[in-house]
Amino acid sequence: MRRTIALLAVAAVIGACARQISAVGPPELALHAKELVDEGEANMYGDKGETVNVDADTKVDVHIIDGNLQTPARLSIRELVVGCVPGTTAPTCVASKIGTDPITVRSKLHFDGSRAATMVTFGAIGGALGACLALCQEGDELARGLAYGGLAIVGVVGVMIVLFAIGGD
């Protein structure tokens, strides 16, 4: 029983994880070239209007555009903007040659409280419906026991998710 509860709790917590992606447009990177090259990081606006801390050593996948030819490359942010220090229109500015589509500069997993709350809500509704159906079965002790067990599992998982949400970021 403990193993089942632990597995359900782990599944619920994993289900409540969400990937947070921070992306920045190449023109914004080029504007912060001096800061990125000199200090190794810079705060700038991301593609969703949020402030993003960009590390110059982060590797990114880009397509360098040269006429009709696009060459794929994996460069660090520093390599992308080092030629932009004199100006964003400098011929050595690689960031100005990769288009304007945002570049993913950071991707991390985080606990999403609203997602967890949704899971708990639907789990509780499902558990309650299952318990109601099982309790309505007269004389079937096995179904009644399973219903109570399921309700207890849903409750424990709900409490664990709430605790993780409170102790999260």
pLDDT at 135 over 60: yes
Is residue 26 located within the same domain as residue 100? yes
Residues in the chain: 169
Residue 81 pLDDT class (50, 70, 90 cuts): very high
Is residue 58 located within the same domain as residue 88? yes
> Which tokens sit at 41?
């990081």
Provide the Cα torsion 74, 79, 83, 84; round to 10°. 90
> Which tokens sit at 9?
């709790």
pLDDT tens column, 96-108: 888 878 887 766 6
- Closest C-alpha to 21, from 46, 44, 56, 55: 46
Is residue 101 located within the same domain as residue 142? no
Q: Which domain holds residue 144?
A: 2-16+112-167
What pLDDT, on the 0 to 100 scale, is given for residue 169? 44
pLDDT at 37 over 80: yes
Is residue 146 located within the same domain as residue 100? no
Is residue 33 located within the same domain as residue 8? no
If one compares 8 and 118, the residue with the highest pLDDT of the two is 118
Domain final residue pick, 111, 139, 158: 111
The reply to whether the predicted model has a pTM over 0.85 is no
